[in-house]
Amino acid sequence: QVHLVESGGETVQAGESLRLSCTLSAPTINGCMYDMSWHRQAPGKEREFVAAIDTDGNTSFRDSVKGRFTISHDNYRDTTYLQMNNLKPDDTAMYYCSAQPHSHCQLRWDLKDNYWGQGTQVTVSS
């Protein structure tokens, strides 16, 4: 139904930048809109929220990434980006993209309230 594919994760040094991409594919679903978010999970820790963007373009971030990360969405490409600047070793984690269909779409197309991608690994060395 709804598929998310992340890319862009790699190993970088502290202070460098990365841009993660998340492409949404829903070939059998028409007319739906999704709020998008990024989350991350470090080894031995719980998954945590990183950033979100809604269909109005409103964004939110966890405190530790404010001023360093930005989130954006390209409607034409159905792709959500997470630009990460001034990376720190504490940013090391598997990064997951998430899509939340609007409620009317969930009802019309029998969708779940949230979909996850498979993740992309970001490693920041000191």
* Closest alpha carbon to 5 in 119, 123, 122: 119
* Closest alpha carbon to 88 in 8, 12, 10: 12
Confirm if 33 and 55 have CB atoms less than 8 A apart. yes
Average pLDDT along the chain: 95
Euclidean distance between CA atoms 67 and 61, whole angstroms: 9
Over pLDDT 70: what percentage of the chain? 100
Tell me the residue type at 15: G
Q: What is the pLDDT of residues 39-64, one digit of tens each?
A: 999 999 999 999 999 999 999 999 99
Q: In this predicted structure, what is the pLDDT of residue 28?
A: 83
Average pLDDT over residues 20-30: 91
